[in-house]
Every structure is written in structure tokens, then in C-alpha cells.
Amino acid sequence: MIIDPYVSTSVTPLDNLDTLSPYEVAKLQDVSQGGLYKLFRQCCLAVLNCGSELDSTKLVLEKYRDFDIRVSQKHRGLQLDLINAPTNAFVDGQIIEGIRENLFSVLRDLLYVGVELEKYSEELDETSRMTNEVFHILRHASALKPHVKPSLVVCWGGHSIGRTEYEYTKKVGYELGLRGFDICTGCGPGAMKGPMKGAAIAHTKQRICDGRYVGISEPGIIAAESPNPIVNELVIMPDIEKRLEAFVRLGHGIIVFPGGAGTAEEILYILGILLHERNAKLPFPLIFTGPSGSEAYFETVDRFIRDTLGEEAAGKYQIIVDDPHGVAVKMKEGLEAVTSHRKATSESFHFNWQLHVPQQFQQPFMPSHENMADLSLFRGQSDFDLAANLRKALSGIVAGNVKEPGIRAIEEYGPFELKGEAAIMEPLDALLRSFVEQRRMKLNYQEYEPCYRLQPLPDSAA
């Protein structure tokens, strides 16, 4: 029997967002530069493509080039018409309920950002406006939970990890779940899925029926990292910078598992923020962990941080190897300190307003060849400024690996060129080489072709 690899059907929302204005419908169907159709189609395809092993937005869009989605207002309310959708989103012709929820989460967030958000930020300075946007998107998505003690643990790590590392992320998630902690990740596979799966089992054992598995993504990455099936709260932020700020505003502590360029970008983001003097006294537990055998990974990351950002940055995290129980206990201690501090300072439990995010971590970075070549990668600037620029360099490499515009730019113009002081470029080269050697850059590749070239400059030139 031949099974059709595509499904065409219509779906309606379960219990919310059941009506739209004609203006909102037109915005979603608008194929012009200012319209939402392209983003809407791409994000919905990513949700429907749950479980995919493709981590290239370009390849996903090419595979499902005939996919389409249309919005219609019927007499009974809102309806999404799916044309040539991936069949693995359905069971016996019926859409899987979790995927249906995530489809309408995409609709909710893209419409809110594209239509309503501007009115909340008109009178604020640039830094406050960015944070305010993050707050309103999270509130609109019902991701902020007042009156709940700090218990949301952000887990970062690679989508391209081996079985041993994946099983370890599940064990850590299980230990966190036994202690009643909820999980927030980038929503994709690998180290983003494992902690949620472990926590879900532990929550069941503890009879926790309202466990949270929050996935935060953004349009540029979601097709390459389709939401895993455990995510029960999906939030789509407008860009990678707001996605990262959402993690640190919403989460109460962070655990970092082994990963590649994207994980290094996340590490540089949180370290750069914690290095700012205004955040010196804020408790924010940060733990790097992995199974036995991952010591070399953490040694490389730790050496890179010490060589570029210095010993103060290395003092902001702990490395715990092969001890899921110890990780959970240490995170519990950290969250108790967060709770005490927020009570003492009358800070909200659900959104970390006190954390200062410098503007250089908020401004969207477009990883063009020109912008990558212009990055300031040298000593003599503040630690958090250097961290911000290194973060942008890694963001560009992620774009060149998996994001459609970045992949096309590399195909057309060749690798990105990064220039900087040898004292910075040499540790960066060692870090990236280790990712390539450990097969952490992409899923299922035969031979990784770097999307970057590093050019050390003499100290005087830098």
C-alpha cells in the first residue's frame, strides 16, 4: 500500500484565538515584504514537521516546497487550511493535539508582534523598549505565572548530540522533575528534548499534573529545530536576541549541556550579562554538565572562556560531570537563593526585571558578510562588550550552518570572514575545531564544510 507523504486538511483552535479581524487575516496572507505570510508559513511548517532530522531551514523548505497554509473565517470561527502538510503530524488523518496547540501558538505570537505590540513601547528608551516587548510577548502567551516560587530551569545544549549525552540530559531532567522544577528549552531535539522527557516522567511519579515544558523559539531557527512533542507551551519570539532575553527573564537558573556553536552563543550571552557591574549581586545559578566522557568538551569551553573573558567570567559557573543528582541539588540551592533575594528586594518571581541586559545584547544582529567582518574581536574593551561581539560571531556561524538566509549567503559569497586579535582568534579557532571534530555542528553530516574563516591580525592591526 502506498502512503501519501502529505496531508491536506483544515484545523480549528481548541479553546482560544477562535476569531480574527479581517485586518489580521489579510496580514497573515500578505506575501509582500511587510506581510506575515512567509514567516507564518515557515513557522507552521516547522511545527508540523515535528521529529524531523533535517537541521537546515533551506532543506526543510525545499522538501516541502508545495506546502501552503491559508486562514479563513467560517461561520463557526477561525480555520486553518493546510495543503500538502507533513504526514507525521497526523494520526489516521487527524492532527495530533499537541501539534494543533503549537500551530495556534505560532498564530498568536506572530500576530501579536506584527499587529499589536508597538503601542506598548512608544515612550520608552531603546533598552527598556526591548525588555518591555519581551515582557508583553511572554504575558500575551500566558508564560508568566505569578504567585509561583522560582522553579523554572532553563536547559541549553546542542541539537546534535550522541546517545550517551542525550540519555544524560534525561537523567538531569528527571532529577529536576522529582524536585518539582519545570523545564524551559529552545524547544528542539537533543539537549532541548531530553530534560523535558526526564522531567515529564518524574512529574508523573510525583503526581504533578501541570508540569511546564516551555519551548522558546524564533522564526529564523524553528524550521531547523522543530518543536519536540513534549513542549506544552510554545512561544515564538521575533528574533534570536529577544529569544535569549526571554530565557534569562523568564527562567530562574540555567543548566548547559554539551553543544555546538549555538550553545556557545548562549553561554557568551549569559556570561556577558552576568559580567556587567549592575548584575554583580544578582544570584543566577549557572551549571555546565554532561556525562562521563564529556570532560574534554568542558575543558575546551572553560579554556576558551578563561582565555578570552578572563577568570571573573569563569567564576560565574560551575562544572559538574556525570552527576545528575548533584546538578539538581546544586540547582535547588541556587533557586532558594534566587527566591530569598527576590523576596528581600520585592522583585517579581515570574519576570526578572532587575537583571540588566545591555543594549549590545538586545540589538538584532544581521549576520551579513560585511557585519561579520566588522566585528570588534580584540582585547582592550570591557568583558561584556567582548562577550557581546563573540556572541554575534557565533550567531553568524549558526546562521551559516542552519538558517536559510545564512546558507544562501554562504553559497553565493563564500564563508564569513572573522578578523581579530590573535589572542582572541586562536582560542576561538580551538573552540570551533573541537566542535567540528566532535561532530557538534550539524545533524547527520558526512563532512562539515565550515561557513567561516578566521583571520588573526597583529596586535597593532587589531
**Which CA distances in Å does 3 have to 50, 92, 93, 95, 200?**
19, 11, 12, 16, 33
350 with 308, same domain: the answer is yes
23 inside domain: yes
Contact between residue 37 and residue 28 where contact means Cβ atoms under 8 Å apart: yes
Q: Report the pLDDT value the prediction gives residue 20, as an integer from 0 to 100.
A: 76
Flag whether 127 is in a domain. Answer: no
In a domain, 136, yes or no: no
Beta carbons of 301 and 288 less than 8 angstroms apart: yes
pTM for the model: 0.90
Please report how many Cα atoms fall inside a 13 Å half-sphere around the Cα of residue 235, on the Cβ side.
30
Task: Quote the number of domains for the chain.
Answer: 2
What local confidence, expressed as pLDDT, does residue 15 receive? 63
Q: Do 237 and 111 lie in a common domain? A: no
For residue 131, count other CB atoms closer than 10 A to its CB: 21
Task: Specify the pLDDT at position 122.
Answer: 64
Give the pLDDT score at 67. 93
Parent domain of 82: 6-120
Residue 112 and residue 172 in one domain: no
Which pLDDT belongs to residue 2?
42
Query: In terms of domains, do 226 and 335 share one?
Result: yes
Residue in 462, 461, 440 with CA at minimum distance from that of residue 450? 440
376 and 427 housed in the same domain: yes
| CATH code for the domain in which residue 223 is found | 3.40.50.450
Specify the DSSP element, H or E, that contains 394: helix 383-402
Low-confidence residues of the chain: pLDDT under 50: 1-2, 460
Report pLDDT digits (tens) over 377-401: 999 999 999 999 999 999 999 999 8
Domain assignment present for 300: yes
Q: Does residue 1 belong to any structural domain of this protein?
A: no
The span from the CA of 101 to the CA of 99, in Å, is 5
Domain edge (last residue) among 68, 85, 120: 120
CATH number of 11's domain = 3.30.1850.10
Tell me what pLDDT residue 370 has: 96
Q: What is the pLDDT at residue 1?
A: 38
> 207's torsion region: left (phi>0), alpha (psi -120 to 50) or beta?
left
| Rounded (5°) CA angle 218-319-231 | 30
Q: Other CB atoms closer than 10 Å to residue 332's CB: what's the count? A: 18
* pLDDT, tens digit (0-9, with 9 covering 90-100), for 118-164: 666 666 788 888 898 999 999 999 999 988 899 999 999 998 889 99
CA distance 293 to 300: 13
The verdict on residue 131 lying in a domain is no
Which residues make beta-bridge pairs with 7? 85
Radius of gyration of the CA atoms of the chain, in A:
22
Instruction: Give residue 74's pLDDT.
Output: 63
pLDDT at 75: 54
Helix, strand, or coil (residue 160): coil
pLDDT at 12: 83
